[in-house]
């Protein structure tokens, strides 16, 4: 059975992952309104990935005999300036999530919960990838600035993303 402390912290993390989904589909809506359908597709895949992150914690809590307690979701930002500002905000958000996962890992170590440590290591590695993916797009957007032709090419490229849950 999982400790109450760890259970509460994982429930708080489930809320953060679901908020992440909310944030990314809000960004998806902005891109769709701008007719940047490829960026919107990328955000759609990102949102689905966040939902997967939330449900992985959700299923784990149940497996450990813990209780899932869903809390109210905060409303995400709905107005954005431009694609670069969006991806910078996404990067900042992922850095915040990485810190939160690291704090959870610290707690699992303190609680001597080796099983939770194993689960959290998956998230630690996942966050490296999350930050790297978003950081790369930030750099691409900084390179192309407002060049419509380059934005259009980037839109085509990002539109190929599909989220496939890991086996």
Q: Which residues of this protein are in contact with Mg ion, per CB under 5 A? A: 17, 20, 50, 53
Between 3 and 122, CB nearer to Mg ion: 122
Instruction: Give 50 or 155: the residue with its C-beta nearer to Mg ion.
Output: 50
Closer CB to Mg ion, 48 or 64, in the complex? 48
CA distances (Å), 30 to each of 18, 54, 66, 85, in order? 19, 23, 37, 12
CB of 42 to Mg ion, least distance (A): 15
Give min distance, CB of 7 to Mg ion, in A: 19
Nearest residue to Mg ion by CB is 53
CB of 166 to Mg ion, least distance (A): 13
Q: Which three-class secondary structure string do you get for the chain?
A: CCCHHHHHHHHHHHHHHHHHHHHHHHHHHHHHHCCCHHHHHHHHHHHHHHHHHHHHHHHHHHHCCCCCCCCCCCCCCCCCCCHHHHHHHHHHHHHHHHHHHHHHHHHHHHCCCHHHHHHHHHHHHHHHHHHHHHHHHHHHHHHHCCCHHHHHHHHHHHCCCCCCCCC
Residue closer to Mg ion by CB (options 37, 135) is: 135
How far apart CA 44 and CA 167 sit, in angstroms, is 20
User: What's the closest the beta carbon of residue 50 comes to Mg ion, in angstroms?
Assistant: 5
Between 53 and 140, name the residue whose CB sits nearer to Mg ion: 53
CB of 16 to Mg ion, least distance (A): 8
């Amino acid at each position: 059975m999982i400790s109450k402390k760890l259970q509460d912290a994982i429930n708080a993390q489930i809320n953060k992952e679901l908020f992440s989904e909310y944030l990314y589909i809000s960004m998806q809506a902005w891109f769709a309104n701008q007719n940047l359908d490829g960026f919107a597709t990328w955000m759609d895949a990102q949102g689905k990935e966040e939902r997967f992150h939330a449900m992985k914690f959700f299923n784990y809590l149940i497996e450990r005999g813990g209780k899932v307690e869903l809390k109210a979701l905060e409303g995400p930002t709905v107005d954005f300036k431009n694609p670069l500002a969006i991806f910078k905000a996404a990067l900042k958000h992922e850095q915040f999530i990485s810190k939160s996962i690291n704090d959870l890992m610290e707690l699992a170590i303190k609680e001597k919960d080796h099983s939770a440590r194993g689960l959290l290591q998956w998230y630690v590695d996942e966050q490296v990838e999350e930050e790297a993916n978003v950081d790369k797009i930030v750099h691409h957007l900084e390179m192309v600035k407002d060049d419509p032709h380059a934005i259009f090419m980037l839109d085509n490229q990002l539109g190929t993303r599909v989220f496939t849950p890991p086996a």
